[in-house]
């Protein structure tokens, strides 16, 4: 219901976000603006809020990532300004964090995940609206060594070697997309989306944009089972929505981003996906989706056939929103013919204004934990099998501290415990654990 | 002794709880706030603009001429969009949310 915004850390990221925050601040604090007239002669070029919107424009504004949407009542943390008849929104999130993990394969690191989004929207005729989105991240610089430690995480590569027990940084250009939405009838819209870098119609809202993951900076272990295509290349999506139902289909280039995180890569549209949404009320969203992803991993043969289903709930409360997600994702590898499942439950609840309790529980079938170690892999394959079901149980707490007028600053921590088969305990320890402490920055909600 | 304790607890409770007040204003939404709906949606009636805004991540609010107060109840205000009402409740300056006890058309 109320909106908040994210901001990145470390010097370049912090500068970027602070600049946007200052711009927003210069254009008046949203709450203060509400107390004045929209026509403020002291600020002729910038105004908070929106102008000349249409129902098609409102439809676009409720999207979270690509064409995916959180429940309509979810907090959408953003600063809004208009320049002439262009409506712009800005969001950003940044965390300066330290990770400590136990066990032979645990790692420690100080780093800074971050992302920043800007969009510009303009009415197109009486029933249409156009929007351009740009999403940036300075993680290629602020997550050094092309990874941060995350026990049992797999997916993508660093220095030509598959990442295991580590998460890759996001690309500098996380998203660059263009939407056109047209209102066909009172509650019927068609939507066309082209993105050189974007999010096709596959999976739930990706974790950086998901309301229930707002206070958990680290990636999910299920990322490459559920929402990893949120940074796909050459995405084309067509969708139609009527009342509470939305159907959409995409074509896109299936390969995961390469290791040069500063460029946009491109390729043929060789993958497809389709997704059906159901929005029973303002507080609920549900989706089922499926797709075939052509050769997603650079060092692995074959395609992936992915299926996902998810249910999301958001309830506005005094002091914030209680947001929760239940997600299932399955990958079928055409090379190994394995079906690997993942299950995720995630929630964040404001226990008081500015105090957030959060949690994430996952079960994921992993078959790449010993990639690059053929002897161990073969031995485990003979004695146990090739797939290991990993459980990750995370709880966390964030408390807002008031350092800046326009930026919500919070300090937080989360702790993860893991369950794992006895067969791999010699390599991870019996009870591996991990913890993160962080400072979080994001723009103060516009109200 | 028991009576004294009960009186003491009751006194503490009453001291801590803020008494509801009546706020008079117009039902709007937190997106447009105090700004004219005609700027936001020039070709739609004001009420439709408020309803469309409240459908998404924004909510119904009361504008009393000085402040835009988000309303804790999001169902009853839907009946009084753009109308002048009396809202009884307690306002939290920190969250800018008006916890609604009742809403009456003025």
Residue A303 in domain: yes
A124/B contact by beta carbon, under 8 A? no
**Rounded mean pLDDT, A32-45:** 35
- Summarize the confidence of residues A47-70 as an average pLDDT: 88
A73 vs B: CB within 8 A:
yes
- Overall average pLDDT of the A74-93 stretch: 89
Residue of B nearest to A320 (CA): B95
Whether B41 sits inside 8 A of A72 (CB atoms) is no
Please report whether residue A353 resides in a domain: yes
Residue A1 lies in a domain: no
Does A413 map to a domain?
yes
Q: Is the pLDDT of residue B7 over 80?
A: no
Kindly determine whether residue A1 and residue B30, on different chains, have CB atoms separated by under 8 Å: yes
Mapping DSSP to helix (H, G, I), strand (E, B) and coil, where does residue A290 land?
Answer: strand
Question: Domain holding A328: CATH number?
Answer: 2.40.160.10
Q: Decide: A247 and A125 in contact? Cβ < 8 Å.
A: no
pLDDT given at position A12: 38
Residue A185 falls within a domain, yes or no?
yes
Q: Is the pLDDT of residue A2 over 80?
A: no
pLDDT of residue A90: 92
Cβ-Cβ contacts under 8 Å, B38 against chain A? none
- The mean pLDDT of chain A is 88
- Residue A353 has its nearest CB partner, among B42, B58, B95, at B95
Higher per-residue confidence, A28 vs A366: A366
DSSP class per residue in A114-171:
EEEEEEEEEEETTTEEEEEEEEE--HHHHSGGG-EEEEEEEEEEETTEEEEEEEPPPP
Distance from CA of A38 to the nearest CA of B (A): 6
User: How far is CA A365 from its chain centroid?
Assistant: 21
Question: Which residues, at least 6 apart from A297, have a Cβ–Cβ distance to it below 8 Å?
Answer: A155, A156, A157, A162, A256
> Which of A36-40, A149-153, A242-246, B55-59 is predicted least confidently?
A36-40
Binning pLDDT at 50, 70 and 90, where does residue A97 land? very high
In angstroms, the separation between the Cα of residue A234 and the nearest Cα of chain B is: 29
Contact criterion met (CB < 8 Å) for A53 and B40: yes
Q: What is the mean pLDDT of residues A361-378?
A: 95
pLDDT digits (tens, 9 = 90+) for B14-40: 445 578 999 999 999 988 888 887 888
C-beta atoms of B96 and A316 within 8 A: no
Name the burial class of residue B75, with classes exposed (0-12), middle (13-18) and buried (19+) by CB atoms within 10 angstroms of its CB.
Answer: exposed
Rounded Cα–Cα distance for residues A105 and A188 (Å): 52
Do the domain assignments include residue A206? yes
Q: What is the pLDDT of residue A445?
A: 60
The CA distance from A62 to A6, in Å, is 17
The alpha carbon of residue A2 is apart from the nearest alpha carbon of chain B, in Å, by 6
Band of the pLDDT at A6, cuts 50, 70, 90?
very low
Cross-strand pairs, A287? A277, A310
* A75 inside domain: yes
pLDDT at A34 over 50: no
Mean pLDDT of A248-260: 94
Interface pTM, i.e. ipTM:
0.75
pTM given for the model: 0.85
CA distance, residue B82 to nearest chain A CA (Å) = 16
CB distance A231 to A254 below 8 Å = no
> Of the candidates B58, B67, B94, which has its C-beta nearest A353's C-beta?
B94
Mean pLDDT of A321-331: 97
Q: What is the domain extent for residue A306?
A: 11-443
**% of chain A residues with pLDDT over 90:** 78
Give the pLDDT confidence score for residue A446 in this predicted structure: 55
Task: For residue A269, tell me if it sits in a domain.
Answer: yes
pLDDT at A272: 98
* Residue A233 or A2, more confident: A233
Least confident window among A56-70, A328-342, A432-446, B9-23:
B9-23
Could you tell me which residue, B95 or A39, shows the higher pLDDT? Answer: B95
> What's the rounded mean pLDDT across residues A217-224?
96
Domain count, chain A: 1
Closest residue by Cα to residue A284 from A232, A331, A253, A326: A326
The pair of structure tokens assigned to A434 is 């991990």
Chain A positions in Cβ-Cβ contact with residue B95 (cut-off 8 Å): 318-319, 353
Residues of chain B with C-beta less than 8 angstroms from the C-beta of A121: none
How far does CA B3 lie from the centroid of its chain? 38
Q: Which residue of B has its CA nearest to A4?
A: B57
Rounded CA-CA distance A284/B29 in Å is 21
Residues of B in contact with A61 (CB under 8 A): 56
Q: Could you tell me if A394 and A216 are in contact, meaning their C-beta atoms sit under 8 angstroms apart? A: yes
* Residue B54 pLDDT: 87
Dihedral angle over CA of B50, B54, B60, B62, nearest 10: -30
Domains and CATH numbers, chain B: 18-105 (2.40.50)
Structure confidence by residue, pLDDT tens digits, A378-430: 999 999 999 999 999 999 999 999 888 888 999 999 999 999 999 999 999 99
- Residue A10: predicted pLDDT: 36
Share of chain B above pLDDT 70, in %: 84
Which of A1, A34, A55 minimises the CB distance to B33?
A34
Rounded-to-integer distance, Cα A322 and Cα A314, Å: 5
How does residue B3 score in pLDDT terms, banded at 50, 70 and 90? low
Which of the 8 DSSP states describes residue A73? T
The alpha-carbon gap from A326 to the nearest alpha carbon of chain B, in Å, equals: 21
Who's near A151: CB < 8 A, 6+ residues apart? A101, A103, A105, A106, A165, A392, A416, A418, A428, A432, A434
Alpha helices (H) along B17-85? 37-40, 46-55
CA angle A436, A442, A444 (to 5 degrees): 140
Cross-chain CB nearest to B57 (options A31, A34, A74): A74
How far is the C-alpha of A320 from the C-alpha of B47, rounded, in Å? 26
């Amino acid at each position: 219901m109320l909106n908040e915004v994210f901001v990145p850390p470390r010097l370049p990221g912090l500068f970027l976000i602070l600049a946007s925050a200052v711009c927003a601040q210069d254009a008046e604090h949203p709450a203060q603006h509400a107390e004045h007239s929209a026509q403020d002669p002291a600020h002729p070029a910038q105004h908070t809020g929106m102008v000349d919107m249409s129902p098609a424009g409102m439809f676009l504004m409720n999207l979270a990532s690509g064409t995916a949407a959180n429940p309509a009542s979810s907090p959408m943390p953003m600063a809004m300004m208009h320049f002439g008849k262009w409506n712009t929104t800005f969001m950003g999130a940044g965390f300066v964090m330290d990770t400590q993990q136990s066990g032979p394969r645990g790692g420690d690191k100080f780093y800074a995940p971050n992302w920043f989004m800007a969009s510009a929207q303009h009415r197109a005729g009486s029933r249409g609206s156009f929007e351009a989105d740009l999403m940036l991240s300075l993680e290629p610089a602020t997550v050094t060594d092309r990874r941060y430690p995350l026990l049992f995480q797999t997916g993508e590569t660093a220095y030509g070697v598959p990442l295991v027990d580590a998460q890759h940084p996001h690309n500098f250009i996380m998203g660059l997309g263009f939407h056109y939405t047209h209102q066909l009838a009172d509650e019927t819209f068609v939507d066309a989306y082209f993105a050189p870098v974007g999010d096709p119609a596959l999976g739930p809202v990706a974790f950086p944009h998901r309301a229930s993951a707002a206070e958990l900076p680290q990636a999910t272990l299920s990322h490459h089972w559920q929402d990893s295509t949120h940074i796909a290349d050459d995405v084309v999506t067509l969708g139609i929505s009527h009342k509470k139902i939305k159907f959409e289909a995409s074509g896109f280039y299936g390969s995961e981003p390469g290791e040069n995180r500063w460029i946009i890569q491109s390729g043929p549209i060789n993958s497809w996906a389709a997704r059906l949404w159901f929005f029973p009320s303002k507080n609920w969203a549900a989706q089922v989706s499926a797709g075939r992803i052509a050769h997603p991993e650079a060092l692995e043969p074959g395609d992936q056939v992915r299926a996902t289903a998810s249910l999301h709930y958001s309830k506005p409360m005094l002091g914030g929103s209680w947001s929760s997600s239940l997600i299932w994702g399955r990958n079928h590898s055409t090379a190994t013919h394995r079906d690997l499942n993942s299950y995720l439950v995630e929630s964040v609840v404001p226990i008081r204004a500015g105090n957030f309790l959060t949690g994430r529980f996952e079960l994921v079938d992993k078959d790449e934990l010993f990639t690059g170690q053929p002897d161990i892999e073969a031995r485990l394959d003979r004695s146990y099998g090739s797939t290991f079901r990993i459980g990750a149980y995370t709880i966390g707490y964030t408390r807002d501290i008031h350092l800046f007028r326009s930026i919500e600053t919070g300090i937080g921590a989360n702790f993860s415990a893991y369950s794992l088969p006895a067969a791999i305990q010699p390599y991870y320890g019996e009870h591996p654990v991990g913890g993160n402490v962080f400072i979080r920055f994001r723009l103060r909600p516009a109200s | 002794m028991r009576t004294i304790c009960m009186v003491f607890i009751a006194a503490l409770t009453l001291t801590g709880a803020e008494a509801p007040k009546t706020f008079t204003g117009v039902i709007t939404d937190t997106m447009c706030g105090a700004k004219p709906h005609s700027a936001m949606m020039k070709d739609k009636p004001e009420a439709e603009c408020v309803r469309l805004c409240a459908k998404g991540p924004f909510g119904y609010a009361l504008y009393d001429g000085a402040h835009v107060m988000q309303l804790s109840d999001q169902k009853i205000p839907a009946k009084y969009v753009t109308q002048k009402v009396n809202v009884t409740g307690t306002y939290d300056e920190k969250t800018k949310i008006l916890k609604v006890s009742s809403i009456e058309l003025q």
